[in-house]
Structures are given as C-alpha cells and as structure tokens.
Amino acid sequence: MSAYPQLAVGEVQTPPALKQPFVGDRPISNDSAVMATAACVQYQVLALLSDGTVVPFVNGTNTPSQAVISAIGGNVGARVPYYDAGHFNHEALVWPAGLAATLNARKAFFNGTPIKVGHVLPN
C-alpha cells in the first residue's frame, strides 16, 4: 500500500496499522483548519467549531453536525486537512472515548451528515 494520506497535502504520514480508510463511492470533500486545543492523529473524529478551528470531538459537548475526520495528524496551532464528506471504514477511524462502540451506533452517529461509515466487504 502506498504512503498516506490519500489527499494532496504537504506532509506524508504512515498510520500505525494500515486499514482501508474508504469503503464506498460517496463524494469526498475536504478542507483544512487550525487545531485549537489538542493534537490529533490521522483519521480522528474532530469537531469543526464556529470560529473555524477544529478540536478533538467530545461526546456531550460537540454534536454530530460538527464532526469531521482528520486527514493527517497535527499539533496545536497546525493547519490540519480534514474530510467533511465521504464514506469511511469505521474501523480505520479514531473514535472518542464512550462514543459509538458498534458499527450500527457509528452509522447512527453520522446519520443526517455528509459523512457515512461502513465496513470493508469481504472478498
């Protein structure tokens, strides 16, 4: 498998465990924002705040409508590219503690957003 991310950015990172990040053919959309309060890792569920920054998603504080997926990891103050639409492998995402432990719960979490999750189909 080639280097990650599958997005044109200035950095290339290799995740610790290579997992197929995309599982469907939904349109993929991306943008970038500054990490505001804590570092993130690649494919982490983040929250896009009203001031245009991103933070690690906190269940009970943030809402699914704010959720985006980091394309690469980044430290506080770094501009981090993120996906705001696409169909992702739920096992490749880094989920916040206490949020969406099963595939069905993870699907329900993103219900009504341009982000969908699923699983890799067996060969």
- In this structure, is residue 35 part of a structural domain? yes
Residue with tokens 């990891």: 73
- Whether 18 and 61 have beta carbons less than 8 Å apart is answered as no
- In this structure, is residue 110 part of a structural domain? yes
pLDDT band at 121, cuts 50/70/90? confident
pTM of the model: 0.83
Residue 69, burial from CB neighbour count under 10 angstroms (0-12, 13-18, 19+): buried
112: which 2 tokens? 């009504």
- In this structure, is residue 75 part of a structural domain? yes
Residue 36, burial from CB neighbour count under 10 angstroms (0-12, 13-18, 19+): middle
pLDDT value at 32 more than 90: yes
- In this structure, is residue 21 part of a structural domain? no
- Structural domain containing residue 72: 29-115
What digits encode the pLDDT tens for the residues 67-119? 999 999 999 999 999 999 999 999 999 999 888 789 999 999 999 999 999 99
- In this structure, is residue 121 part of a structural domain? no
Q: Indicate which CATH number applies to the domain containing 106.
A: 2.40.300.10
The tally of domains found in the chain comes to: 1
